[in-house]
Structure 1
């Protein structure tokens, strides 16, 4: 968890920046090699405190403040912790059929049904797409077999170089980004994925592909893209398991908790692959706001980020483009 620097919009919390910075260094085990590096990161940290105050004003039903990313510039954060390569035109093929939505449960969470592995950590590697992919396949495998197995992201990072058929420049490239639908193509062609234990995560893409087909434990028969309609997304979630989605992560660098429902969040700048695991009818909101229906999203930045590694975002508005790149596997 991080800590809020905002108290009723009072900017006085920003006055003693270095005190906050020293607390941040101690809490997250940060170290800087030189006095120059320390001074530079202090300036970045100060800018991020101002950003957190701004985000709090734009997103008052969530809590924003100091996180483990508060010493990174926006550009550094994007390069190291995002990594979704969005094609110029999204796939039209493999559209999911329309499902009935009249009997959906009011609240649903795949964590309560055993279909979600522990929160993982991609580290400073733009491999979010690989974690989103394995999460969806882990859930589908659980629905099929009743067994929850943690699957290998590193296999995708090392071995998957698939390209989007509609945009040949959108290719999976390890820590330099990728796309979940490309990864499904790879898994179908290669035969499947190994376990996390057999092919452990290293957080870099310098290694050679070590894939061993004899160690495959989960496979993909097909995948579908889900429509923009959020009731259809909910229906697919309940029927098929956790869904891989793309999202605009602009508010996630400063997010601590609550239901994120920013006043402005572009639906077109999708840059992060995550896993949709559930939804709720009534999320926490301050007294002056009505309670909000929300989505529950599993992230891949470790359990110290957000709400034990999870992100809540309001439902029904296509918030931050969460409905534009949704896929399901079987």
Structure 2
């Protein structure tokens, strides 16, 4: 056997060992991710109709886990993503379809109650605010697979100002807005200003206890809707594309805002979010404060979401404030309003 033949055999042996090891690593990774998926599904009570659906969801879960790992491994970020939330087996499109629902271009804009901004001349504005510390924020709620984020945003803002003005923190009914506000479209989306108008015209809104959340569209229960736990006299819009005026408003009360949600929102876990955002306004949340990061002093908005406590910082997000664009990061200063009592 010649020298050349020996070299060729040696090369094939090395390549064979490498391929075997690579195959072993791939098998191990696949098993590891399958175990992760099984544990995740058990934790969040996720079941599948059949093996085909389970395999489909596993592949999505695996892709999402890869996306999160690659993002976090890049480093030099002010925020982290995580796979441990209820959205881990959804595609980005499914997530955006089921869990957003702010439709600012779908409904005619009314000017009722929006001609003034009462906090324009406010000068004594705190450096930091967290309305949770004043007992003006209820526990995180979950809209589930219903695109009625607009209702949760409105309800949280009214719960906040009701506590500030009356001293009582009550849990109000999102379902009443989903069922009875016919100018909006329930789980198919809506606008906060339109919901404020409905509540004013209805003479108030019922409590969560009287009109509990179902997570789906339903017929308006007029008897339940007549039970008034909180009332408003109207609402006002914050000066558009003005984060300083938005800060003045949030200094005084929780504020409903629209934002442009993109892929990274699905797996936000912690830290000050600095982008990327969605291409259009599609989600509604409530601003309950603002402050500075302990790590680097970065300014942020304190966002209360309606995706349950598995998402973000137990249901909350810190989103960069004064990021350099007039509309704010993810358009947070472009569609903000608050209720008046």
**Same fold flag (TM > 0.5):** yes
Partner of 2:63: 47
Q: Which residue of 1 aligns with 2:198?
A: 186
Q: For residue 254 of structure 1, what is the aligned residue in structure 2? A: 267
Structure label with greater radius of gyration: 2
For residue 105 of structure 1, what is the aligned residue in structure 2?
Answer: 126
Aligned counterpart for 1:18 among listed residues 34, 57, 76: 34
Deviation of 1:292 after TM superposition, in Å, equals 1.1
Structure 1: gaps spanning 5 or more residues: 1-12, 163-171, 285-289
Change (3 A) 1:213 1:31: closer
Pairs within 5 Å for 1:10-159: 16-53=32-69, 55-56=71-72, 57=74, 60-66=77-83, 67-87=85-105, 91=109, 93=111, 94=114, 95-97=116-118, 99-100=120-121, 102-159=123-180
Map of 2:19 onto structure 1: none
1:309 aligns with 2:312: no
CA distance 1:105–1:121, shift in 2 (3 Å)? same
Structure number with the higher helix fraction is 2
Count of aligned residue pairs for this structure pair? 301
Q: Are the structure 2 counterparts of residues 243 and 204 from structure 1 closer, same or farther at C-alpha, using a change threshold of 3 Å?
A: same
Structure 2 match to 1:287: none
8 A contact 1:69–1:253 mirrored in 2: yes
Match of 1:293 among 294, 299, 304: 299
**What is the TM-score normalised by the length of structure 1?**
0.84
Local SS of the residue matching 2:293: strand
Corresponding residue number in structure 1 for 2:336: 326
Work out the CA distance in 2 between the residues paired with 1:81 and 1:136.
19
Name which of 261, 272, 288 aligns with 1:277: 288
**In structure 2, C-alpha distance between the alignment counterparts of 1:190 and 1:89, rounded to whole Å:** 20
Q: Which residue of 2 aligns with 1:169?
A: none
Q: Secondary structure at the match of 2:292?
A: strand
Offset of residue 204 of structure 1: 0.8
Give, in whole Å, the separation in 1 of the partners of 2:338 and 2:173: 18
How far apart are residue 151 of structure 1 and its match? 0.5
Aligned-residue CA RMSD in angstroms?
A: 2.3
Higher relative contact order (CA 8 A, sep 6+): 1
Unaligned runs of 5+ in 2: 1-27
Question: Which residue pairs with 1:236 in the alignment?
Answer: 249
